[in-house]
Amino acid sequence: DMVEDDPAKLVFVLVDEVESLASSRGSGGTGDPTDAIRAVNALLTSLDRLRAFPNVLVLATTNLANNVDNAFVDRVDLKVHVGLPIVEARFQILESAVKELHRVGILKELEEQPEGPSFKEGHKKEPSGAIDPSNCSSTLLSCAREAEGLSGRALRRLPLQAHIQCMGGTNEEVLLSDFLRALISAIRVEHQSMRYL
C-alpha cells in the first residue's frame, strides 16, 4: 500500500532471519511440507511483484545461508557477507558498555579522559599487547584483541557477566580496574565455552 500510495517514497522491506520464510524446499524439514512449499512460493511471488516498483528495496538477513531456498537466492541482486567484528568494532562495543555502566553509577571511575576510553589512546599506550588494568583504553584494547572470533551479541553479553563476577553478591559500585580484570576473564571463559559447542 505504501509503495502504491506514494511512488516517490523510498520503501525498505527488511526480512530478518529470512530462512524461516524461505527455507529450502528440498531440505525436507519438519511439519507439513506442502505448507512450507506454499509459504516459499507466496514469498517468491510477492518478491516478483515488488520488482515492478523502482522505489522498493528488499533487504534480507540470515545466519543460515545454506538453508535459504535457491529460487530466493537467485532473485538476490547483491549478496554481502558480514563477518565477525574487527578489533576496532569489538573495542567500540566494549567501550559503549563500559561507558553505560559508568553512566548508571555501577563503575566508580573512568581514568584518563573525562569522556572515557578511546581506541586511539589504547593503541598508543599499549603497543606491546600487555594488559594494564590501570589504563582503561589499553586494557579495553587488550580485551578487544582477546575477543577475536566472538560475535557482537556475545560481546554485548560479556560486560554483564564481568559485572556479576565483580559484585560477588554485593550491590556496591565496582572499581573500573576490577571490572576490566573480570572482563578479560569473561572473554576467556566465553572462548572456552565455544570449544564445547
Stretch 25-30: mean pLDDT, rounded?
60
Q: What is the pLDDT of residue 127?
A: 40
Report the candidate in 16, 21, 58, 55 with the shortest Cα–Cα distance to residue 40.
21
Residue 194 makes CB contacts below 8 A (sequence gap 6+) with 149, 150
End-to-end CA distance of the chain: 45
pLDDT top residue among 169 and 50: 50
Q: What is the identity of the amino acid at 9?
A: K
Taking only the tens place, the pLDDT of each residue in 86-119 is 999 999 999 998 888 888 888 876 554 444 555 5
Q: What is the identity of the amino acid at 64?
A: L
Q: What is the pLDDT of residue 113?
A: 44
C-alpha torsion sign, points 176, 182, 185, 187: negative
Residue 14 pairs with which residues in a beta bridge? 59
Q: What is the pLDDT of residue 117?
A: 55
Q: What is the pLDDT of residue 195?
A: 80
Backbone φ, ψ for residue 56 (5° rounding): -120, 130
Is the pLDDT at 43 greater than 50, yes or no? yes
Q: Helix H segments across 13-107?
A: 33-50, 70-74, 87-103
Q: 195 in the Ramachandran plot: left (φ > 0), alpha (ψ -120 to 50) or beta? A: alpha
Q: What is the pLDDT of residue 196?
A: 72
Answer for the pair 59, 14: CB distance below 8 angstroms, yes or no.
Answer: yes
Grid cell at residue 196: 564445547
Mean pLDDT for the chain overall: 82
Report the candidate in 125, 99, 97 with the shortest Cα–Cα distance to residue 114.
99
Taking only the tens place, the pLDDT of each residue in 108-164 is 765 544 445 555 555 554 444 444 445 678 888 999 999 999 999 999 999 888 888
